[in-house]
Amino acid sequence: MQAAPIQATRRPAWVLALAAGCALLPCSALAQHADENAATQSDDAFGRSIGTERSGLYTGSEVRGFNPSEAGNVRLNGLYFDLVNLVSARLIEGLAVRVGIAAQRYPFPAPTGLVDYDLAIPRGEAELSVVASTASSYVLGPGILADFKLPLDGERFGIAGGAAIREATREEGAGHHFRTISGLAAFRPFEGAEFLAFSSKLWTLDWEARPTYFPAANQLPAKVPRVEWLGFDWTEYDFINETHGGMARVPLGKGLRLEAGLFYSRRTLKRSFADFLLGVTPQGGLSDRLVVAAADNIDESLSGEVRLVREWTADRFEHRLIASVRGRSRNRLFGGSRQLLLGPGPGNIFTAEGWSQPTYTTDPKNKDRVRQLVPGVAYSLLWQGRASLDISVAKNGYRKAIDFADEALDDPVTRDRSWLWNVSASVALMRNFYLFGGMSRGQEDAIVAPDNAVNNAEAPPAVRTRQVELGLRLGITPRLTLVAGVFSISKPYYNLDAARFYRELGTVRNRGVELSLTGQLAPGLNLVGGVLLLDPSISGEAVNTGLIGKRPVGQSKLRVVGNLDWRLNGGEGAWSFDIALQSHSASTGNAANTLSAPAYSLVNLGARYRFEVGDVKIVIRPQLTNLFNAYGWKVSSIGGFTYSRPRRAVVSLIADF
């Protein structure tokens, strides 16, 4: 597949207008997207996304065996943000996963890790980027995006924004339409002060529910062909995500400043579906097919944080004291879904024919309300080149109320007034060689009940979490860093019982070893390498009675990732070449621990060719993902199997004006 020539790229009128404006303005030579490269811009291998590029062990949805985004451990430019589902990539420049030493000097960290998004803020010179590609990181299909940053009145005022469209084909053969738009305004009335207002919306349209395969007994399901649609056209639905908010940073004098943010996040689904094939055999037979249909699901949250920050220096010591109040008001309409058992149909999973579309109605919705206010204090001490200390303590004020539509059910109310705290420190054992460690106790949201649960979409009360960790950081060279650490995280374990009721089944403890090696091996040659050795285990009555095994479903014990980027001519050449590796060991395939999904590895190859046409900086980026077309089974936390993406060729054309 080849990228379309520049002259064939159809751009929205506002993009052309901005391009014309750039001709009259001092546009930056280092604009938005041409220089994005996660392999050269990552400080560690714990997880970093920069535009469409990604590196490291973790993502915004998976850190040390847990999902920090669903747990509520999200920050936006460092401030607390209760993200409901997705935030438009046009609004942000990237994200960083903060765990281990990467979370030190970061106020109020979470035991299971933080995901910190960076807003795309206009600073410096004007920028405009246009990207046309044959596919994205996730789906095939042509797309185009445009982002701009436009400072006005010097540095006092600026605007930024972007838009993207894609006609996508997913790995299972279905398609959808993707649209997103965002805008941001920045105002800096005096030195050190900044006020931001932003808004974004993301539409995913005509999305069909992907089939998920649940194996029969202790045997792997038959391999189904990829990029061949085996689902139902009538399970098509739309979902809309939006994010709006404002932030302020105001110096108050004498090392004191105010930081504040208020954010609104919402997901709307007029209709939604899930498609489960049950009792799938190695030959492709099945016992039943379950479609779960829901309607009018709404999840919205108003959240934010206000901080007073005092920073001062005494001799060689840097001090920071923060008084903070975090809070949220979250409302959900959930449940009322209809579980449609369609029968075995034609008796195999290799066709979508033989099942008829049923008629159904959904039931009234339940209401879920969460109110939370968390005042706290954090102190950080840095002895430059010698040691650091971080301490935080907060008082949790949490209330959750559920109003069931069924009047026969009790409406539960739960409260939590616990203390949350964190202590971490580092000390230099010798030059560029640090020992670090920490302990923390936190609270986070439990994962919502899955679609096939009797109480599907129900969100349990927030749970308490604990973590201890210890590690070393070694500067091998000024540009190459090794981080090694061990950790142990514990929290309540929720999953399906024998009656498919989603409830607490015990306590899960994830113990692990992390290795990160990042930096420059030689001029022009950069590495991001990571290894995770994970030992997840469940304890409690459900394990003792044999209801479930001691290993959480969907977890694997070993993960290895690596990104190697080589730019010719000592890092100054027009050409660069890169290779990325992801390797996963076998993962637990069912609750009884009697089935495992095999290990698999993915290898991606890529290149970049850089050149200029006048003042326009252009990058052509071809990629070949899943080079060996590996077929890997990914297992969800409830035992559903879906396959990995097939081999695909991708070409992107990036133009920075």
Say what the pLDDT of residue 391 is.
97
Band (153; pLDDT cuts 50, 70, 90):
confident
Token pair for residue 269? 């689904």
Across 206-235, average pLDDT: 94
Distance CA 527, CA 473 (A): 17
Q: Edge to edge, what strands does the sheet with 79-80 contain?
A: 53-55, 48-50, 92-98, 114-119, 74-76, 79-80
The answer to whether the Cα torsion of 336, 337, 341, 342 is positive or negative is positive
pLDDT class of 15 with cuts at 50, 70, 90? very low
| CA angle centred on 647, ends 147 and 129, rounded to 5° | 10
**Looking at the DSSP assignment, which residues form a beta bridge with residue 613?**
616
Amino acid found at 276: F
Q: Report the pLDDT averaged over residues 86-101.
A: 92
The contacts of residue 190 (CB under 8 Å, 6+ apart) are: none
Q: Which residues pair with 650 in a beta bridge?
A: 623
Mean pLDDT of 187-212: 95
Q: Is the Cβ–Cβ distance between 320 and 308 less than 8 Å? A: no
Instruction: Using the predicted structure, report yes or no on whether residue 456 has a pLDDT greater than 90.
Output: no
- Beta bridge partners, 160, equal 149, 184
Q: pLDDT tens-digit profile of 320-337?
A: 999 999 999 999 999 899
Q: What pLDDT is recorded for position 29?
A: 34
Beta-carbon contacts of 547 under 8 Å, excluding residues fewer than 6 positions away, are: 497, 498, 505, 541, 591
Per domain, the residue ranges of the chain are 6-656
Tell me how far apart the alpha carbons of residues 355 and 384 are, in angstroms, rounded to a whole number. 68
CB 442 within 8 A of CB 420: yes
- Tell me the C-alpha distance between 360 and 231, whole Å: 18
Segment 402-420 mean pLDDT: 92
User: DSSP assignment of 129-148, as one string?
Assistant: EEEEEEE-SS-EEEEEEEEE
Per-residue pLDDT, 23: 33
Q: In terms of C-beta density within 10 A (0-12 exposed, 13-18 middle, 19 or more buried), how is residue 304 classed?
A: buried
Task: Quote the pLDDT of residue 155.
Answer: 82
Topology classification of domain 6-656: Maltoporin; Chain A (2.40.170)
Mean pLDDT of 625-650: 95
pLDDT score for 19: 37
pLDDT at 285: 96
Q: What is the pLDDT of residues 554-601, one digit of tens each?
A: 999 999 999 999 999 999 999 999 999 999 999 999 999 999 999 999
Please tell me the predicted confidence (pLDDT) of residue 557.
96
> Does 241 have pLDDT greater than 50?
yes
Q: Using 50, 70 and 90 to split pLDDT, how confident is the model at 2? A: very low
What φ, ψ does residue 18 adopt, rounded to 5°? -65, -40
Give the pLDDT mean for 394-401: 96
Helix (H) or strand (E) run with residue 13 in it: helix 13-24
Is the distance from CB of 143 to CB of 130 less than 8 angstroms? no
Measured CA to CA, the distance from residue 455 to residue 615 in angstroms comes to: 59
Q: How far apart are CA 586 and CA 482, in angstroms?
A: 27
The distance of Cα 438 from the centroid of its chain, to the nearest Å, equals 24
CB 336 within 8 A of CB 294: yes
Instruction: For residue range 246-287, list pLDDT tens digits in order.
Output: 999 999 998 999 999 999 999 999 889 999 999 999 999 999
Residue (of 636, 567, 571, 647) closest to 602 by Cα position? 647
Per-residue pLDDT at 524 exceeds 60: yes
pLDDT of amino acid 591: 95
Task: Give me the pLDDT at residue 161, please.
Answer: 95
CA distance 321 to 389: 12
State the pLDDT confidence band at 135, using cuts at 50, 70 and 90: confident
| pLDDT at residue 344, as a whole number | 96
The predicted pLDDT at position 169 comes to 85
In the chain, the percentage of residues whose pLDDT exceeds 70 is 95
634 backbone dihedrals φ, ψ, rounded to 5°? -100, 135
CA distance linking residue 218 with residue 2, whole number of Å: 44
The pairing of strands 114-119 and 74-76 is parallel
- Say whether 9 sits in a helix, a strand or coil: coil
Q: Is the pLDDT of residue 21 over 90?
A: no
Cα–Cα dist 275/268, whole Å: 20
Question: What was the pLDDT predicted at 590?
Answer: 95
Residue 24: predicted pLDDT: 33
pLDDT of residue 123: 87
Write the burial class of residue 450 (CB in 10 Å: 0-12 exposed, 13-18 middle, 19+ buried).
buried
DSSP labels, 299-352: EEEEEEEEEEEEEEEETTEEEEEEEEEEEEEEEEEE---EEEE---TTSSSS-S
Tens of pLDDT along 337-388? Answer: 999 999 999 999 999 999 999 999 999 999 999 999 999 999 999 998 899 9
CA–CA gap between residue 102 and residue 56 (Å, rounded) = 13
pLDDT at 22: 37
* pLDDT over 80 at 28, yes or no: no
The whole-angstrom distance between residue 592's C-alpha and the CA centroid of its chain comes to: 29
**Contact residues for 294 (Cβ-Cβ < 8 A; gap 6+):** 269, 271, 272, 273, 335, 336, 337, 338, 362, 451, 457
Tokens of 514: 């992390």
What is the spatial distance between Cα 67 and Cα 105, in angstroms, rounded to a whole number?
22
**332: nearest Cα among 372, 364, 370:** 370
Give φ, ψ of 533 to 5 degrees.
-110, 115
Give me 348's structure tokens. 């195999």
User: H or E element: which one contains 502?
Assistant: strand 502-522
Q: Are 61 and 113 spatial neighbours (Cβ–Cβ below 8 Å)? A: no
